Amino acid sequence: MKPRWTTDPGAIPGEPFDYLGIPIGEKGEIGEARAVIVEIETPGDSLWEARAFGGRPLGTFETAEQARAAAEKYVQAECGCEN
């Protein structure tokens, strides 16, 4: 089972747009995500930063997929869970 990502289609660069592991159900809030992905605009391109809950940086990557993989690996190591 792959970790559950929730995307905020209204996010702008510099704001989290992908949220990993928001609790399922009506009580789940984006602030409870285990990790987030943030687009960082650079001249001519974008980079993607993975951040743990609370804002701890996990790394900056060339693709969103690489950032998601780093976030998933971190969450798996921290809690032993899938999302």
Q: Which tops the pLDDT comparison, 4 or 72?
A: 72
Q: Which tops the pLDDT comparison, 70 or 78?
A: 70
Q: Tell me what pLDDT residue 62 has.
A: 96
Q: Report pLDDT digits (tens) over 1-54.
A: 356 888 888 999 999 989 998 765 556 566 678 899 999 999 989 999 999 988
CA atoms within a 13 Å half-sphere pointing along the CA-CB vector of 8? 20
Of 14-23, 33-42, 59-68, 73-82, least confident by mean pLDDT is 73-82
Which pTM does this prediction carry? 0.82
Cα–Cα separations (whole angstroms), residue 64 to 26, 68, 70, 80:
27, 6, 10, 23
